[in-house]
Structure 1
Amino acid sequence: MKTVLITGTSRGIGQSFLEEFGNYPGFKILAGLKTQYEIKTAKQYSQVEYFVLDYGNNQDFKKLEFYLQKNHHSIDTLIANAGISTWGPMLDINEESFKQIFEINFFGTTKLIKTVLPFLVPQGKIIAMGSGSATTTVPFMGIYPISKLAINYLITSLRREMVHHPTYYQVQFAIIHPGSIKTPIWDGAKELSFKTNFPFYSKIATLGLKIIDADMSKSTKPVQVAKLFHQLILKRKIKSTYYIGKNINVIRFLNLLPNGMVDFIFKWAFKLQLKFL
């Protein structure tokens, strides 16, 4: 039986993973939720054991360490799935928003890996969630892609460093870069964003909302990413990077173009759409 520890299971991709595999007899799933209330109200599955983990609370990481020690869990696969998002002009993002996004997305992922690594089996796997926007930054995505790019380099650095570790040199690291996935993460982003102090960005803010809504209507269902998790857990050998999502190939194509050309494409794409507002 494979023991999987996954965070961010209250909604989106994490929730889909539990719905698909929470009763799967080949897995023991340790599922992270942000609050005790979420645990009390969470759906029960035969193979799922819940624990509280708020990435912004250092005490929760200590409690997770104690929980793993107490229950003698050996983790086969760690999936760092929790994260938050935002949208808006970089000039509007205040210091607190920068700190919050990095505290959850980057530092939270880093602390999770450090906490769980001592309980990982020597041939275990660590999988983190990146973003297609981390490789080609879309205008007005704000700090989100920067935090995801940091995670990408974190996983790359660990993969290259851990081969020299006396115990965990066989641990495999992978990052998943999804395109547009239909999850509630962007609902929160819409609530936090579009309160611009710059009048010349007001139309951009309106356009941004339309883009998010249009993107979500044709985006990939989170269950597809959950199924990719399942495949990676069972694979003997995994790759370092995975891409998934309906628009991810467009993003990958843009990565091949010179920066000046990509700048031109985004500039005129936004100008064209603004004419129809």
Structure 2
Amino acid sequence: MGQLDGKTALVTGGTSGIGLATAKRFAAEGAHVFITGRDQQRLDNAVKEVGDATGVQGDVGVLDDLDRLAALIADHGKGLDAVFVNAGIGEFATLDSIGWEDYQKTFNNNVGGVIFTVQKVLPQLNPGASIVLTGSSSAGNGQPAFGLYAASKAAIRSLGRTWAGELVGRGVRVNTIVPGPTETPGLGGLVPDNPQGLFDQLAHSIPMGRIGRPEEIANTVLFLVSHQSTYMTGAEVWVDGGAEQI
């Protein structure tokens, strides 16, 4: 018997990396999973990998796409028990090179996309539902050229606390997961010419001597949406190999 038998889940940004690993984990535990992604071919491939899943093409930064997503979930008729708000973007840009378009793109996706994803699915949340937001260890340090991304993720931590307070009366829990560097296409894409070099460089700064695997983050997300964590809300859970703790 799976931990999510008979449940319905949503994973945004579920076509690769942590999102895909989490969608697969949810399905393996018995959930039907709605997966979002911008690229239809990658979305179709993800649905095949996950199995019991519905793919919804769209961009979390576009309100019409979020309205369509919410309508499809409502039509499914079973509400939502688990929401993993994972979609986001990140790019290197130093202070002197940031353009207004860079700011809009990052905050529209990483902050606006999170706010309005959660807002649009609120009517579908079942009693006892769990929301997990994706933060980042970057929010707590001053890595050069990563200021926009870090600031957007700092906002997520604040939103998670606020929403935990707002939704506790409905029996809905909100927690934030904070992955450290994880071997994903998104991280590797920051240095497309040498992703392994970036992974190796980051591994040297982590006490455990390696970067994370998407499956390890997915296991923690599963814990946060399952009955194993029913006394947790408003928490920030670090999964970073000890990088920010030791």
TM-score between both structures, scaled by the size of structure 1: 0.76
Segments of structure 1 that go 5 or more residues without pairing to the other structure are 192-208, 254-277
User: How far off its partner does 1:237 sit?
Assistant: 2.7
- Alignment match, 2:214: 222
Between the aligned partners of 1:52 and 1:237, the Cα distance in structure 2 is 34
User: How far off its partner does 1:185 sit?
Assistant: 1.3
Of the candidates 237, 241, 251, which is equivalent to residue 236 of structure 2? 241
- Alignment match, 1:42: 46
**Contact 2:129–2:172 at 8 Å: present in 1 too?**
yes
**Contact 1:86–1:186 at 8 Å: present in 2 too?**
no
Deviations 1:150-193 (A, max 9, x none): 11111111112334x5xx2x2111001111111111233336xx
- Alignment match, 1:15: 20
Q: Match of 2:8, SS?
A: strand
Rg comparison, structure with higher value: 1
- Alignment match, 2:167: 162
Change (3 A) 1:220 1:42: closer
Q: Match of 2:178, SS?
A: strand
Between the aligned partners of 2:26 and 2:82, the Cα distance in structure 1 is 14
Specify the code of the residue in structure 2 equivalent to 1:38.
R
Specify the code of the residue in structure 2 equivalent to 1:214.
Q
- Alignment match, 2:182: 181
Stretch moving more, 92-101 or 226-235: 226-235
Q: Match of 1:83, SS?
A: coil
**Contact 2:38–2:59 at 8 Å: present in 1 too?**
yes
Change (3 A) 1:39 1:183: closer
Is 1:80 the equivalent of 2:85?
yes
| Pairing of 1:65-214 with structure 2 (within 5 A) | 65-163=70-168, 168=170, 170-190=171-191, 214=201
User: How far off its partner does 1:90 sit?
Assistant: 1.7
**Contact 2:47–2:54 at 8 Å: present in 1 too?**
no
User: How far off its partner does 1:213 sit?
Assistant: 5.2
**Contact 1:182–1:216 at 8 Å: present in 2 too?**
no
Deviations 1:53-91 (A, max 9, x none): 311222101111211222213111111011111123122
Change (3 A) 1:188 1:211: closer
Change (3 A) 1:118 1:50: same
- Alignment match, 1:250: 243
Deviations 1:2-25 (A, max 9, x none): 21111111111011123444344x
Segments of structure 2 that go 5 or more residues without pairing to the other structure are 1-5, 205-209
Q: Match of 1:77, SS?
A: strand
Between the aligned partners of 2:47 and 2:70, the Cα distance in structure 1 is 24
Q: Match of 1:101, SS?
A: helix
Between the aligned partners of 1:107 and 1:115, the Cα distance in structure 2 is 12
**Contact 2:15–2:35 at 8 Å: present in 1 too?**
no
- Alignment match, 1:262: none
Number of corresponding residues: 231
Give the fraction of aligned pairs with identical amino acids, expressed as a percent.
Answer: 25
User: How far off its partner does 1:211 sit?
Assistant: 5.2
**Contact 1:180–1:220 at 8 Å: present in 2 too?**
yes
Specify the code of the residue in structure 2 equivalent to 1:161.
E
Specify the code of the residue in structure 2 equivalent to 1:224.
E
**Contact 1:181–1:216 at 8 Å: present in 2 too?**
no
Root-mean-square deviation (CA, aligned residues, Å) is: 2.4
Q: Match of 1:51, SS?
A: strand
Between the aligned partners of 1:3 and 1:19, the Cα distance in structure 2 is 13
**Contact 1:32–1:51 at 8 Å: present in 2 too?**
yes
**Contact 1:35–1:54 at 8 Å: present in 2 too?**
no
Between the aligned partners of 2:245 and 2:105, the Cα distance in structure 1 is 28
